[in-house]
Structure 1
Amino acid sequence: MEQFNSDEVSYLDDKSIRATKNDSDFSDSDFEDDFETKKMETDTSAQEARNGKDIQGIQWEGFKYTRDEFRETRLIQYENFVNILTPSSREKLDKEHRKVEKGKNFYEFQFNTRLVTSTIVHFQLELRNLVWATSKHDVYLMQNYSLMHWSSLLQRGKEVVNVARSVTPTQKLPGLFSEPLSRVQVSSMAVKENLILLGGFNGELLCKCVNQPGVAFCTRLSTEDNAITNTVDIYRSPSGSLRLITANNDCKIRVFDAQSFTRVSEFAFDWSVNNTSVNPDGKLLAVLGDSTECLISDSHSGKVISSLKGHKDYSFASAWHPNGLILATGNQDTTCRLWDIRNPSESFAVLKGNMGAIRGLKFTPEGRFLAMAEPADFVHIFDTQSGFLQSQEIDLFGEIAGISFSPDTEALYVGVADRTYGSLMEYKRRKDNHYMDSFF
């Protein structure tokens, strides 16, 4: 896979529609000296959006095309990368997916800022989980080699870790293999339980405590040429122990103890593992990758318990409903399938995107909504209470670096990776949507 910095690409940078000013024109000194001016030029508030300003700050009046015309062109010209999806399989999917009532407004646009900009390592990188909210006001995102913290209260961004420079682990534990790393291209991240976990394009793993300086632990998981750390996550085992889990292109899942950073277990599979997620009680793993199957494995032994069949291409995302019974899986065939693991023989629903692979899936912590992100331009929010039959569609322009609900479900953050219009978008939950139990 060719390494390709997302900063080199802008869907809105064609000569026929080019904007007059590029964010890259601003140096670090400009950022410090002219913060308020840039903020006025690049940020969009909810009030400004209601008054007609484009939510991304795109000045369509200066372009050759209107927004609607450009959207129509994008839908026609966008090429979704596939590995094994056939035309006949695509036709079957078109008949199989659920007819959904769109146009709902579960989350309202709140703010868009380009003072921090989301980036991705590679424009074809499968996983897009580089945005994590730890509260409705605090969110972490990758901006090139910097892990940034954005405060929506202060409307300020702050660098937390810079992995372009050499990173030396602060903890020296007996028998623990840890090594300095530098120029880590972050491909995956998770921020939970007061820990920040970063995975790298060349098989790296870094762990940092949120409130402590330095990186506690860092190592290279594999020396293979194509060992991208596709997924990292933090979870509680059935015993209550805090665990770190990684999934890599070298076909392995690795589990570490979060206190000692020792490896607890390692599971090997027949294909590259693009994504893994742990169910709420910590007993089951969803394992997805370069296969049409999704495996359900025992988290302790790695033994495969069942195989979920129905997708037509490779899978890249998964999410467990908080009730532990529903699993959502995202695939390059442009669909998300929903499975009741009590009856794994077939999916009970198929949700379809507009343009591309489903590369991001997140349930709200109480299970009311499911957010589904395509690689670019669209985030869909489904109401589980309606049986996933009602949805909201967030329409934007640019690669999507990640999506994250806040733990209290009050906010949804969307990272947009684009050379000119890269940004962080914030949506807030409408007050008339109350917490309700799942329909299951």
Structure 2
Amino acid sequence: MTAAGTHRDDIGFLRLPATKYAQRTTIQHCRKEVIFVNQNSVSILNTETQQTTHALQGLTFSPTSMTTGCGYLAAGGQRSELMIRQLSSTWFAHTVVGGSINNAMSISKHAGSTRLLICNNDQTIKVYSLPDLHLVTTIPLPTAVNYASVSPDGRKLLAVGDTSEVFLFNISASGSYERIGTMTATSDAGFSCSWNQSSERFAVASQDGYVSVWDIRSTNKLAQLASKQVCHDVNPQVKGACRCVKFSPSGSIDLLVFSEHVSYFNVVDARTFDGRQSVSVSPAGLDQHISGIAFAPDSKSLFVGTESSILEYSVDALMRRSFPYGSLN
């Protein structure tokens, strides 16, 4: 890992070992329960009862993307298919949004309404209002779009795609999206991006095995973090590719987690970026694909999806809320 100043490895942010749930996943997401995709179904695992129920089943497509937010669940497909369900009722809608692969989606309340953003391989972000599925606007970009994230305060939009460029937008009170900046991450495509809970910092995970972090008040990087397998030069652009990045969403936990293509995920101190914990999800000598990562809403647990199971790690919240020293300037 590289960042400003020195760094410490193997900090105990998470308590090991993980609790293991024997659920096969292709991608997964977490809220109070764990929602995950397997083949043509989207299921919900209650980690207290360990019971699994189907949120969507018998889909006519295998989802390539899935998200939840504001009481809705959305699944997108390889041929621009879209399925929306309201989690508190039986309401659902199925449509095709046009373009190519729906790479990623996000749901948030901003610009005075609930909006669904769909990142597509046709070089657009399609913005729909919910629940009426009205197409609010289409945001064009110069590359296939892999991921987009709206800041928690609803004022900024971040997007990455099949280029090293990172696109920053302002969201106006009237609901329009204006590009206000373009940064460069590293040397390869961006897979994922995330905002911290204060909407002041954002991070981008890239194919070449690096996570770049910025403060919204500067175009200079705050930190650049290397994956464990890039650090050890083990097929860096294959095994060590950074696939998913997430900030802890609540409280004073202040962590950043990012997954590698296989076997490892990394938990980083998001206050100073000078310490991290690298965790293997595979037995020694074996590689296992990581299908997704997500914090619980209270940031006290971290869920990691693999091809054969869902792993739950407890965050050492007491340690994160205890500062070893302080200073007043």
Q: Which residue of 2 aligns with 1:432?
A: 318
Instruction: Answer yes or no: is 1:400 the counterpart of 2:273.
Output: no
Q: Which residue of 1 aligns with 2:107?
A: 234
Unaligned 5+ segments in structure 2 are: 230-239, 283-287
Q: Residues 293 and 310 of structure 1 are in contact (CA less than 8 Å); yes or no, is this contact kept in structure 2?
A: yes
Q: Residues 144 and 161 of structure 2 are in contact (CA less than 8 Å); yes or no, is this contact kept in structure 1?
A: yes
Instruction: Answer yes or no: is 1:311 the counterpart of 2:186.
Output: yes
Give the 5 Å matches for 1:139-288. Answer: 139-164=34-59, 182=60, 184-213=61-90, 216-222=92-98, 224=99, 227-239=100-112, 241-288=113-160
C-alpha spacing 1:193/1:98, structure 2 compared with 1 (3 Å)? farther
Q: Deviations over 1:386-431 (max 9, x none)?
A: x0111111112311111010001111110002xxxx1110111225
Instruction: Answer yes or no: is 1:353 the counterpart of 2:212.
Output: no
C-alpha spacing 1:99/1:274, structure 2 compared with 1 (3 Å)? farther
Q: Deviations over 1:58-104 (max 9, x none)?
A: xxxxxxxxxxxxxxxxxxxxxxxxxxxxxxxxxxxx98787531112
Separation of aligned partners in 1, 2:226 and 2:196? 19
Q: Which residue of 1 aligns with 2:234?
A: none
Q: Residues 368 and 435 of structure 1 are in contact (CA less than 8 Å); yes or no, is this contact kept in structure 2?
A: no
Q: Residues 70 and 109 of structure 2 are in contact (CA less than 8 Å); yes or no, is this contact kept in structure 1?
A: no
Instruction: Answer yes or no: is 1:298 the counterpart of 2:205.
Output: no
C-alpha spacing 1:303/1:188, structure 2 compared with 1 (3 Å)? same
C-alpha spacing 1:157/1:308, structure 2 compared with 1 (3 Å)? same
Q: What is the CA distance between 1:435 and its match in structure 2?
A: 4.1
The aligned amino acid for 1:221 is V
Separation of aligned partners in 1, 2:320 and 2:274? 18
Q: Could you state the TM-score of these two structures normalised by the residue count of structure 2?
A: 0.86
Q: Which residue of 1 aligns with 2:8?
A: 101
Q: What is the CA distance between 1:158 and its match in structure 2?
A: 2.0
Unaligned 5+ segments in structure 1 are: 1-93, 120-129, 165-181
The aligned amino acid for 2:313 is Y
Q: Residues 294 and 302 of structure 2 are in contact (CA less than 8 Å); yes or no, is this contact kept in structure 1?
A: yes
The aligned amino acid for 2:244 is G
Separation of aligned partners in 1, 2:189 and 2:73? 28
Q: Which residue of 2 aligns with 1:134?
A: 31
Q: Which residue of 2 aligns with 1:112?
A: 20
Q: Which residue of 2 aligns with 1:372?
A: 258
Q: Deviations over 1:189-210 (max 9, x none)?
A: 1122221111112211111011
Separation of aligned partners in 2, 1:257 and 1:188? 18
Separation of aligned partners in 1, 2:68 and 2:290? 18
Separation of aligned partners in 2, 1:256 and 1:236? 12
Answer with 1 or 2: which has the greater Rg.
1
Q: Residues 97 and 351 of structure 1 are in contact (CA less than 8 Å); yes or no, is this contact kept in structure 2?
A: no
The aligned amino acid for 2:223 is A
Separation of aligned partners in 2, 1:371 and 1:98? 20
Separation of aligned partners in 2, 1:334 and 1:370? 15
Q: What is the CA distance between 1:353 and its match in structure 2?
A: 0.4
Q: Deviations over 1:103-138 (max 9, x none)?
A: 122122341122x1112xxxxxxxxxx322212xx1
C-alpha spacing 1:98/1:143, structure 2 compared with 1 (3 Å)? farther
In terms of fraction of residues, the more strand-rich structure is 2
The aligned amino acid for 1:351 is L
Instruction: Answer yes or no: is 1:322 the counterpart of 2:217.
Output: no
Instruction: Answer yes or no: is 1:362 the counterpart of 2:246.
Output: yes
Percent of aligned positions that are identical: 24
C-alpha spacing 1:434/1:340, structure 2 compared with 1 (3 Å)? closer
Q: Residues 103 and 147 of structure 2 are in contact (CA less than 8 Å); yes or no, is this contact kept in structure 1?
A: yes
1:198 partner SS: strand
- Report the count of equivalent residues: 303
Instruction: Answer yes or no: is 1:409 the counterpart of 2:286.
Output: no
Q: Residues 187 and 229 of structure 1 are in contact (CA less than 8 Å); yes or no, is this contact kept in structure 2?
A: yes
Q: Could you state the TM-score of these two structures normalised by the residue count of structure 1?
A: 0.65
Q: What is the CA distance between 1:374 and its match in structure 2?
A: 1.0
Instruction: Answer yes or no: is 1:390 the counterpart of 2:275.
Output: yes
Q: Residues 85 and 92 of structure 2 are in contact (CA less than 8 Å); yes or no, is this contact kept in structure 1?
A: yes
Q: Residues 3 and 273 of structure 2 are in contact (CA less than 8 Å); yes or no, is this contact kept in structure 1?
A: no
1:359 partner SS: strand
C-alpha spacing 1:342/1:162, structure 2 compared with 1 (3 Å)? same
Q: Residues 191 and 206 of structure 2 are in contact (CA less than 8 Å); yes or no, is this contact kept in structure 1?
A: yes
Separation of aligned partners in 1, 2:204 and 2:13? 22
Q: Residues 98 and 349 of structure 1 are in contact (CA less than 8 Å); yes or no, is this contact kept in structure 2?
A: no
Q: Which residue of 2 aligns with 1:40?
A: none
Q: What is the CA distance between 1:283 and its match in structure 2?
A: 2.0
Alpha-carbon RMSD = 2.1
Q: Residues 113 and 424 of structure 1 are in contact (CA less than 8 Å); yes or no, is this contact kept in structure 2?
A: yes
